[in-house]
Amino acid sequence: MKKTLITLFVVTSLLYACGGGAGSDTGNGAPAKKDVTQNPTYIAGLDLVSKSGCLTCHKANEASTGPSYKSIANKYPNNVETYELLSLKIIKGGYGVWGQVPMIPHPDLTQETATTMVKYILLLKD
Ligand code: HEC
């Protein structure tokens, strides 16, 4: 009996450790999504895109002049290559990926600032 309890304890704590490492929740992922708004990168990035006029052309969930941030997030993997690609695109502007409407350049943004914006956008992935 004692052995069984110990085994149970070990298994449970292992499961617990795995769940905790992957994010605040396991399971269907819905509760973890809700937590995204508490992520410091989300808060910092949202503040930056609000202050920098990005929201005149981009909405989080629906296309306007530019693609929605959610569709951008779903198009790219969340990795360093994407941070670099998209932060440079924000700084230099460009067109042709989503259509013929160009995105204006933002040459006064540093790559670090633009990268924070990109990380925020990628958090909106479905
Ligand atoms: C004048 C309108 C406008 C503004 C302001 C604007 N964008 Fe865009 N953005 C666009 C358009 C249009 C596209 C699609 C460009 C394309 O098809 O290559 C785009 C594309 C993007 C993409 C995806 C690029 C790609 O290659 O997939 C990101 C990321 C992005 N914008 C972020 C931002 C951020 C962050 C800001 C604020 C600093 C911003 N945008 C300001 C119009 C705008």
Residue 85 confidence (pLDDT) above 70: yes
Residue 50 Cα, ligand 1 centroid: separation in angstroms? 14
Lowest mean per-residue pLDDT among 16-25, 54-63, 74-83, 111-120:
16-25
What is the pLDDT at residue 3?
A: 56
Residue 9 Cα, ligand 1 centroid: separation in angstroms? 51
Q: Under 8 Å CB-to-CB from 4, ≥6 apart: which residues?
A: none
Ligand 1 in contact with 90 (CB < 6 A)?
A: yes
HSE at residue 109, side-chain half, CA atoms within 13 A, is 26
Residue 95 near residue 101, CB atoms below 8 Å = yes
Please give the Cα distance from 27 to 19 (Å, whole number): 9
Banded model confidence at residue 113, pLDDT cuts 50, 70, 90: very high
What is the pLDDT at residue 19?
A: 43
Q: Between 107 and 12, whose confidence is greater?
A: 107
What is the pLDDT at residue 31?
A: 53
Q: What is the mean pLDDT of residues 83-108?
A: 98
Rounded (5°) CA angle 83-79-107: 0
Ligand 1 in contact with 95 (CB < 6 A)?
A: yes
Average pLDDT, the chain: 84
User: What whole-number percentage of the chain has pLDDT above 90?
Assistant: 72
Banded model confidence at residue 93, pLDDT cuts 50, 70, 90: very high
